[in-house]
Amino acid sequence: MNIVLLDNKTLGNDLNLSPLRELGELTTFSTTSSAETSKRIESAQIVITNKVVITKEIMQNAPKLELICIAATGMNNVDLKAAEELGITVKNVSGYSTGSVVQHTFTMALSLIEKLSCYNKIAKNGTWSDSNLFTNLSHPFYEISGKKWGIIGLGNIGKEVAKVAEAFGANIEYFSTSGENKINDYHHCDLDELFRLCDIISIHCPLNDNTLNLINKSNLTLLKDKAILLNLGRGGIINEDDLAEELNKREIYAGLDVLTKEPIEKSNPLLHIEHSERLIITPHIAWASIEARKKLLEGIVENIETFMKQNT
């Protein structure tokens, strides 16, 4: 099998790709632009892509192509309808990053709750040394216990976040973005109520017509003072202009692992808010623990092996 991996850089440089090489002749590219894609896969039987877009035209120009493996859960970078019409199998990998995303959710939440960046600065810049006090209470923080934790999107990741939040003593509220997931162990409420009630809100839903620009000035203004909003779902769910405006107006906090445009544009207003300590931005890494990426590679290998067995 002629296997082409289009964007190896997105998987990290610490993965052992030998299991893929055992399945066929592997060609890897660090990154692939839209202009390069068609040429690079014209002779491929199997293509592996994380974010590189595979259009109908590209598939039509790859006559040997039999299988597209998406190195992710989301499948919106491949024209699935065209693939079906052309008899090309498309496989993704699901569930590999749940533990990593849950962990990152609480890393962000706890860092913001306990004002860690502020206290780290105080301890290192001489402020604490000059104070003659054994402690510093200049940035009051609270416990998760007894607070309301709101979850937008109670899928597999959302449910795991709920379990951990409960272990901290939080009370769980949730909002179903599809409107169909309303039979659970937790209380469902509408989005406005969630914003009014909750001290911490985390987003774990996909980006679609229901969730595009779901969080905007109409509900951001409903957030409680000092509330924390976390986006571990997809960029585009939060209107970033509106969030920047609200962060500048009053004391609320946000943690974002996903942005509408990735990598983040230097002109993004979130990079220029007055109180930068109120915002944590990470470069779309919640999914990417070492363990999660190893599971992802294992899932890709399994998808190829299964396909090969079914087609021998």
- For 172-182, the pLDDT digits (tens) are 999 999 988 88
Q: Can you tell me the distance from the alpha carbon of 274 to that of 270, in angstroms, rounded to the nearest whole number?
A: 9
Q: Can you tell me the distance from the alpha carbon of 27 to that of 19, in angstroms, rounded to the nearest whole number?
A: 13
pTM: 0.95
pLDDT at 236 over 90: yes
pLDDT at 183 over 90: no
Q: Can you tell me the distance from the alpha carbon of 2 to that of 9, in angstroms, rounded to the nearest whole number?
A: 20
Mind telling me the catalytic residues? 234, 262, 284
pLDDT at 296 over 90: yes
pLDDT at 164 over 90: yes
Tell me what pLDDT residue 179 has.
87
**Measuring CA to CA, how many Å separate 3 from each of 32, 33, 146, 200?**
15, 18, 52, 44
Given the candidates 3.40.50.720, 2.40.50.140, 3.40.50.620, 3.40.50.880, the CATH classification of the domain at 98-281 is 3.40.50.720
Q: What is the mean pLDDT of residues 148-162?
A: 97
Q: Which has more pLDDT, 184 or 13?
A: 13
Q: Is 3.30.450.40 the CATH classification of the domain at 2-96+290-310?
A: no
**Measuring CA to CA, how many Å separate 279 from each of 244, 245, 282?**
9, 12, 10
For residue 274, which phi and psi values (nearest 5 degrees)? Answer: -70, -40
For residue 33, which phi and psi values (nearest 5 degrees)? Answer: -85, 165
Tell me what pLDDT residue 180 has.
85
Per-domain boundaries in the chain: 2-96+290-310, 98-281
Write the Ramachandran bin of 213: left for phi over 0, alpha for psi from -120 to 50, otherwise beta: left
pLDDT at 190 over 90: yes
- For 34-77, the pLDDT digits (tens) are 999 999 999 999 999 999 999 999 999 999 999 999 999 999 99
pLDDT at 312 over 90: no
Mean pLDDT of the chain: 97
- For 271-286, the pLDDT digits (tens) are 999 999 999 999 999 9
Q: Can you tell me the distance from the alpha carbon of 42 to that of 45, in angstroms, rounded to the nearest whole number?
A: 9
Tell me what pLDDT residue 54 has.
98
Q: How confident is the model at residue 205 (pLDDT cuts 50, 70, 90)?
A: very high
Asked if the domains at 2-96+290-310 and 98-281 fall in one CATH topology, the answer is yes
Q: Which pair of tokens denotes residue 129?
A: 């040394």
For residue 235, which phi and psi values (nearest 5 degrees)? Answer: -65, 150
